[in-house]
């Protein structure tokens, strides 16, 4: 199993305006969440905090970067771009589970302790759930691959 890692080299692939789009969408989502929260209260506004503010922009940019990289190598790259965006979407879903754990953990802990302790505890809940969700997805994916590989060898082809 490969470890979770951060690759800062991918930051060089982006163009300045792509980062501006991400920044603008993230800022707009934050302002929108603040407006919803001030109008309908913190509980409703908190639901919108889970909105992956830059997900749409990042998914399309990831796809474009993969296609551009493959075209430089002389390949079409559309399928690779779609797959890279799909992996990013799966990561966003796993991250959303972690954010949900943070929100529930903070809400439960802040009633029993101070804000700093609740923040630390909720952060630990986020980390544990996010890593656990990644691990479970990884295991399920590898089990599915093993089942597909073992099932394909035992079947006979009928034309």
Give the model's confidence band at 124: pLDDT under 50 very low, under 70 low, under 90 confident, else very high: very high
Please count the residues of the chain. Answer: 159
Q: What are the tens digits of pLDDT across the range 35-76?
A: 888 999 887 777 776 566 566 666 767 777 777 777 777 777
For range 70-84, the mean pLDDT: 76
Question: Residue 77: how many CB atoms within 10 A of its CB?
Answer: 20
Interatomic CA distance for residues 64 and 68, integer angstroms: 6
Give the model's confidence band at 158: pLDDT under 50 very low, under 70 low, under 90 confident, else very high: very low
DSSP 8-state code for residue 9: G
Check whether 120 has a pLDDT greater than 90.
yes
For range 90-100, the mean pLDDT: 82
Check whether 155 has a pLDDT greater than 60.
no
Global confidence as pTM: 0.54
Q: What is the DSSP string of 10-23?
A: GGGGS-HHHHHHHH
Interatomic CA distance for residues 71 and 60, integer angstroms: 16
Interatomic CA distance for residues 35 and 49, integer angstroms: 12
* Gyration radius from the chain CA atoms: 20
Q: What is the DSSP string of 12-69?
A: GGS-HHHHHHHHHHHHHHHHHHHHHHHHH-HHHHHHHHTS-TTHHHHHHHHHHHHHHH
pLDDT of residue 129: 93
Contact 109, 121 (CB under 8 A): yes
Give the model's confidence band at 125: pLDDT under 50 very low, under 70 low, under 90 confident, else very high: very high
pLDDT of residue 128: 94
């Amino acid at each position: 199993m490969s470890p979770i890692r951060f690759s800062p080299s991918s930051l060089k692939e982006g163009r300045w305006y792509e980062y501006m789009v991400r920044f603008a969408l993230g800022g707009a989502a934050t302002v929108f969440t603040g407006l919803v929260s001030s109008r309908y209260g913190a509980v409703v506004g908190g639901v919108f905090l889970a909105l992956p503010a830059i997900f749409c922009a990042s998914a399309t940019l990831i796809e474009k970067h993969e296609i551009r990289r493959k075209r430089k190598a002389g390949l079409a790259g559309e399928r690779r771009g779609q797959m890279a965006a799909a992996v990013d979407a799966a990561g966003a879903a796993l991250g959303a589970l972690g954010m949900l754990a943070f929100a529930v953990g903070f809400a439960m802990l802040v009633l029993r302790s101070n804000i700093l302790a609740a923040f630390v505890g909720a952060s630990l809940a986020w980390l544990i759930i996010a890593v656990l969700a990644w691990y479970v997805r990884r295991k399920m994916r590898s089990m599915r691959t093993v089942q597909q590989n073992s099932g394909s060898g035992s079947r006979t082809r009928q034309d």
